[in-house]
Structure 1
Amino acid sequence: MSNNKLAMIMLDGLRYDTAVSHMGYLHHLVEYGKASRFRVQSELPSLSRPLYEVLLTGTPVWTNGVTGNRTVRLSHQESLFHLTRKQGLTNATASYYWVSELYNEAPFDPLRDRIQQNTDKPIQHGIFYFEDHYPDTHLFADAHYLLNTHGPDFLYVHSMNIDDDGHKYTADSIQYRNRVLAADAILATVLPVWMEKGYQIMITADHGMTADGNHGGTTSADREVPLFIISDRIAPGILEETISQLQVAPLACHLLGIPASEAMQPLTVCDRSPASP
């Protein structure tokens, strides 16, 4: 991977421990020295919309003001979309509609905003879904279309099916675990193609999921999520130490080869070498 292109994949609602036990393809890459795995502690509250903002701007809730899922407005921060556009790079996303409401259009209009193509917007090329059960297979097909059509320097992919099944059946269910297996199988299909095209890969989650079928609290089930990285800029292996979710956005900037925003934390992840699996 000789360029700075990055595909950042966010698997909504994926617990760290379930990722470790059920994502066989990703751990195959870790075992063979092709990927690294980190444990991340999410910011609080461990809710979706606030953590989308955390992941994409690197700012905590008390700074960005996106305090809950009902905060429907454009972000006041510089996101990875803003930063890539500022540096003359191209970006694209296949995401849940809340991402559009944070960075392009709020409130979201399904008839107007499902497909967005506007290089003057923070998100330049977007395909947005608005049903939590929108199939992940379709979502990754959307993402692959954007990658093939536009060749974005930064591609953000936001999957919702793991979170949806967690709410319906709880994290302690066959359905939740099987959905994680299904996501891993999709990644086993698309990642080799994207890597062959020169993309670095980041895979993480916003929050976890409890045995009550919810999230928002302070437990490890709510907050501990995985971060997998496939890049020659990050040493392969497993880092057992827990890192802050505020490190994800500046790490993405590092992989993209662009300056982080002034509001982001200094990057420390690259100073820590994962151990061999």
Structure 2
Amino acid sequence: MNNKVILVVLDGLNYSVARDCMGYVDGLIEEQKASVYKLRSELPSLSRPLYECILTGVKPVNSGITHNQVCRLSKEDSIFSLARKAGLSTAAAAYHWVSELYNRAPYEPRRDRFTADTDLNIQYGVFYQWDHYPDEALFQDGDHLLKRHNPDFLLIHPMNIDDSGHKFGLDSRQYRNSARRADVILSEFLPDWLNEGYQVLITSDHGMNNDLSHGGTLPEEREVPLFVLGERFSHAPVAIEQTDICGLVCHLLNISHGKPFPMECLR
């Protein structure tokens, strides 16, 4: 049984846009090779608080990471820290706020952009600080980390969908086309990752609204997808919370965690 996991967080991807625009991933669902669940993001529906929520299973109002300007290390057990305690290897190609949450804060590009330190929670990393950093490059960064370091847990976190939403809004061709481009990129990498035995989860932190923002309680801001692919998933129609993702990944990694997760979605 393969216990390795890739978690892809497509920043800012609304559930309806994901279902309308991601034809490759939806084709895998039609062939019963993947499943999708509708999740409701925790509040506030902002990025840094929800990175912490996804990666620790703790709601923002409880973690203290309540807005994007909170720049400090996480105080919670995360997928990264739990994996390291279990002796597993970790990697991330992600926005620099992830480095600030789990490695070092504040982020210093010359020190932290390229990370290789087995004593850190994220041992191998390629981090970026530009919202327009191309998704194509970011996925290549993640795939490079996979091929070079063969991590047990890999986070891949591109930003272009969110960037398009902030510039053009939910009901824009630019936002929808950013989701379509992410789908095309995934079609290049997913077959290899699955053939290598990785269990893959694809989700988002939050959605988007027509005010070019997010952070509130509107369904379009909170409803996000969770696609699951791999031999370990049951594809059963179960209810999943955003706070369940951490425990689900930890269970797939076969590490002790104490986090909530829906056992029914696994074989």
Match of 2:8 in 1: 9
SS at match of 1:244: coil
Mapping 1:72-151, distance limit 5 Å: 72-151=71-150
Match of 1:22 in 2: 21
Which amino acid is the alignment partner of residue 13 of structure 2? Answer: L
* More displaced 10-residue stretch of structure 1: 166-175 or 248-257: 248-257
Q: Is the 8 A contact 1:165 1:176 kept in 2?
A: yes
Separation (CA, whole Å) in 2 of partners of 1:190 and 1:232: 17
Which amino acid is the alignment partner of residue 47 of structure 1? Answer: L
Separation (CA, whole Å) in 1 of partners of 2:231 and 2:188: 21
Q: Is the 8 A contact 1:41 1:242 kept in 2?
A: no
Which amino acid is the alignment partner of residue 250 of structure 1? Answer: G
Match of 2:162 in 1: 163
Q: CA deviation at 1:231?
A: 2.1
* Identical pairs, percent: 50
Give CA-to-partner distance per residue, 1:100-145, whole Å, 9 cap, x none.
Answer: 0001110011111110111011110010011000000000110010
TM-score (norm 2): 0.97
SS at match of 2:240: strand
Show structure 1 runs of 4+ deviating over 2 A: 270-273
Which amino acid is the alignment partner of residue 248 of structure 1? Answer: I
Match of 2:264 in 1: 271
Q: CA deviation at 1:272?
A: 5.6
Separation (CA, whole Å) in 1 of partners of 2:194 and 2:232: 14
Q: CA deviation at 1:175?
A: 0.3
Matched, 1:245 2:242: yes
Residue number among 253, 256, 260 corresponding to 2:253 in the alignment: 256
> For this pair of structures, how many residues does the alignment match?
266
Give CA-to-partner distance per residue, 1:131-181, whole Å, 9 cap, x none.
Answer: 000000000110010000000000000010000000000011000000100
Separation (CA, whole Å) in 2 of partners of 1:7 and 1:71: 26
TM-score (norm 1): 0.93
Q: Structure 1 residues 30, 92: CA separation in 2 closer, same or farther (over 3 Å shift)?
A: same
Q: Structure 1 residues 272, 194: CA separation in 2 closer, same or farther (over 3 Å shift)?
A: closer
Which amino acid is the alignment partner of residue 26 of structure 1? Answer: V
Q: Is the 8 A contact 2:235 2:265 kept in 1?
A: no
Which structure 2 residue ranges, 5 or more long, are not aligned? none
